[in-house]
């Protein structure tokens, strides 16, 4: 599977190409932010970039492939945020909370990227994306899932969590993921939803996590620990840590 046949002369070209691809993706994001999803056309992307149409199609096999590429970008950023969140001191349940918070913060501070992730889930996009790019996305999703699984495994080893019958590390990771994805997807792009618009996002998010983890009997239970305080603590750390880290030139 790994290609050792490739020699190194073209190494630099490859790097330059990848850099240009990154610039195109940043440009696409800016267009999306300013003009909405209807405002992103290949013509506009070409006009605002320094390359020609043909070259853009050299990077992305279709407009949909561009969206999948943006979703890969989105997952990479998420992975960075997860790794930072794991550095925050605290017991295992607080670390789970940190992951949820990092995810939620991401969906709020970078709505465009999050919406790209949502869009890239759509069959219309999947159908017309390149297999290579879809594989890349899957690989990143696996890395994110692995982080969740490690946390769960560590909590079991440490004794704050015990698996009951019918539970598995994979299943627990999935349930967490589903909860986080669903809540963020419902909260962010649909502020017009009359009923849920009166809910405060952050306490609701915290409630969801607490219910799941209490249901698992993951210690310490929310009745024995002030997770609202944990949430605040983690949030201030995440907020001060990543002010102008990299990438986004707003």
Of residues 242, 9, 227, 5, the one with CA closest to residue 106: 242
Q: Number of C-alpha atoms within 13 angstroms, CB side, residue 229?
A: 6
CB of 138 to DNA, least distance (A): 22
Give the nearer residue to DNA in terms of CB position, either 61 or 136.
61
Contact range with a second copy by CB under 8 A, out of 81-89, 101-109, 140-148, 153-161: 140-148
Q: Does 221 bind DNA (CB under 7 A)?
A: no
Contact range with a second copy by CB under 8 A, out of 82-90, 150-158, 171-179, 242-250: 171-179
Using CB under 8 A, which of 57, 174, 202, 235 touches a second copy? 174
- Contact yes or no for 151/93 (Cβ under 8 A): no
- Contact yes or no for 74/136 (Cβ under 8 A): no
- Contact yes or no for 106/114 (Cβ under 8 A): yes
Residue 102 contact, options a second copy, DNA, none, Cβ 5-8 Å cut-off depending on partner type: none
Q: What binding mask, one character per residue, do residues 63-92 give for DNA by CB under 7 A, x or -? A: xx----------------------------
Using CB under 8 A, which of 26, 79, 118, 156 touches a second copy? 118
Q: What binding mask, one character per residue, do residues 198-217 give for a second copy by CB under 8 A, x or -? A: xx---xx--xx-xxxxxxx-
Over the range 217-230, which residues count as b (16 or more CB within 10 Å of their CB) and which as e?
ebbeebeeeebeeb
Residue 55 contact, options DNA, a second copy, none, Cβ 5-8 Å cut-off depending on partner type: DNA
CB of 20 to DNA, least distance (A): 7
Q: Does 233 bind DNA (CB under 7 A)?
A: no
3-state helix, strand, coil in the chain (%, to 5): 70, 0, 30
Sign of the CA dihedral 117, 119, 120, 121? positive
Using CB under 8 A, which of 145, 156, 235, 242 touches a second copy? 145
Q: What's the distance, Cα to Cα, between the start and end of the chain in Å?
A: 40
Q: Which residues bind DNA (CB under 7 A)?
A: 10, 13, 17, 40-43, 51-55, 57-58, 61-64, 128
């Amino acid at each position: 599977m790994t290609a050792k046949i490739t020699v190194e002369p073209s190494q630099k070209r490859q790097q330059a190409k990848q850099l240009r691809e990154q610039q195109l993706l940043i440009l696409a994001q800016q267009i999306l932010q300013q003009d909405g999803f209807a405002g992103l056309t290949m013509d506009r992307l070409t006009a605002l970039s320094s390359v020609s149409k043909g070259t853009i199609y050299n990077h992305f096999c279709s407009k949909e492939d561009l969206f999948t590429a943006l979703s890969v970008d989105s997952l990479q950023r998420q992975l960075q945020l997860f790794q930072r969140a794991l550095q925050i001191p605290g017991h295992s349940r607080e670390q789970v909370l940190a992951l949820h918070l990092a995810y939620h913060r991401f969906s709020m501070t970078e709505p465009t990227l999050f919406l790209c992730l949502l869009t890239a889930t759509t069959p219309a996009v999947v159908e017309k994306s390149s297999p290579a790019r879809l594989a890349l996305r899957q690989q990143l999703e696996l890395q994110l899932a692995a982080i969740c699984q490690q946390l769960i495994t560590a909590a079991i080893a440490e004794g704050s969590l015990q698996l009951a019958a019918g539970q598995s590390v994979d299943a627990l990771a999935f349930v967490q993921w589903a909860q986080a994805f669903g809540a963020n997807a419902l909260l962010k792009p649909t502020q017009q939803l009359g009923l849920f618009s009166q809910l405060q996002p952050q306490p609701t998010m915290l409630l969801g996590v607490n219910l799941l983890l209490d249901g698992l009997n993951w210690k310490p239970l929310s009745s024995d620990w002030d997770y609202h305080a944990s949430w605040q603590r983690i949030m201030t750390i995440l907020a001060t840590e990543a002010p102008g880290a990299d990438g986004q030139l707003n």
